[in-house]
């Protein structure tokens, strides 16, 4: 049996879980994204690279890579009511909150964070971590652009501004935030 690693393992999972095959006649075109050519977003705590836009797959899925800075949050505890998120840890180590359980996830870990379930992720290590995320439906990927544009417009990156902006966008995208569910071990990684 041949062992596969990295994206080769994730791609079949994305296709099976999201049904991203285009219907006959759809205008979704194949995409090959070379290193350094994707659009990046300087999201607080994570450099976010949009590898595949939701509209490029008829909205079925978007694929995003996160570079999560050492000792920082990728996403605080929240529940999506309209999307499913699928993560694959490419490098480093991430901690996932899955309901009330914290799971240490080294490279090679896959996590399906489905709608209706509390989850969060952060990097507790002293090294950057890289994650690949597929989100379905893919329209949710616009959240990152809109959120960062709003923060830039406010010209303030303090924790109060970030929290207020996050609350506004969470409501818009049918997400419920749970700041009271941040695990004790992760509280020091929240923006100050």
Residue 51: predicted pLDDT: 80
Distance CA 189, CA 116 (A): 25
**pLDDT tens-digit series, residues 149-189:** 666 666 666 666 666 666 776 777 778 888 889 999 998 88
Within 10 Å of residue 75's Cβ, how many Cβ atoms? Answer: 22
More confidently predicted of 87 and 141: 87
| 17 band by pLDDT with thresholds 50, 70 and 90 | very low
- Angle at the Cα of 78 from the Cα atoms of 77 and 80, rounded to 5 degrees: 155
pLDDT grade, residue 59 (50/70/90)?
low
Choose from 9-13, 23-27, 154-158 the range with maximum mean pLDDT. Answer: 154-158
With beta carbons less than 8 A apart as the criterion, state whether 97 and 42 touch. no
The fold of the 37-177 domain, in CATH, is Jelly Rolls (2.60.120)
Inter-residue contact 77 to 65 (CB < 8 Å): no
Summarize pLDDT for 69-107 with one digit per residue, the tens. 999 888 889 998 888 999 999 999 999 999 999 999 999
Q: Taking the domains of the chain in order of start, what are their residue ranges?
A: 37-177
Tell me how far CA of residue 95 lies from CA of 12, 91, 120, 142, 186, in angstroms: 24, 13, 8, 25, 9
**DSSP notation for 48-97:** EEEEE-GGGGTTS-EEEEEEEPTTEEEEEEEEESS-EEEEEEEESEEEEE
Average pLDDT in the 18-42 region?
A: 64
Q: Is 41 helix (H, G, I), strand (E, B) or coil?
A: strand
High-pLDDT (> 90) share of the chain, %: 31
pLDDT of residue 48: 74
Query: Which token pair is 139?
Result: 């329209």
Is the pLDDT at 46 greater than 90? The verdict is no
| Residue 130 pLDDT greater than 90, yes or no | yes
């Amino acid at each position: 049996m041949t062992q596969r690693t990295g994206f080769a393992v994730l791609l079949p999972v994305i296709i099976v879980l999201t049904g991203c095959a285009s219907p006959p006649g759809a205008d979704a075109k194949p995409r090959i994204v070379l290193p350094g050519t994707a659009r990046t977003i300087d999201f607080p705590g994570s450099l976010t690279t949009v590898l595949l836009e939701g509209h490029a797959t008829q909205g079925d899925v978007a694929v995003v890579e996160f570079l999560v800075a050492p000792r920082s949050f990728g996403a605080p505890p929240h529940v999506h009511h309209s999307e499913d998120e699928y993560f694959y840890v490419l490098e480093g180590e991430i901690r996932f909150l899955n309901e009330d359980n914290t799971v240490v996830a080294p490279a090679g870990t896959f996590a399906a964070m489905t709608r209706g379930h509390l989850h969060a992720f952060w990097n507790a290590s002293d090294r950057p971590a890289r994650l690949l995320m597929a989100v379905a439906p893919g329209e949710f990927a616009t959240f990152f652009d809109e959120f960062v544009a709003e923060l830039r417009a406010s010209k303030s990156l303090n924790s109060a501004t970030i929290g207020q902006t996050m609350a506004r966008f969470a409501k818009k995208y049918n997400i419920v935030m749970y700041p009271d569910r941040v695990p004790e071990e992760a509280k020091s990684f929240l923006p100050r």
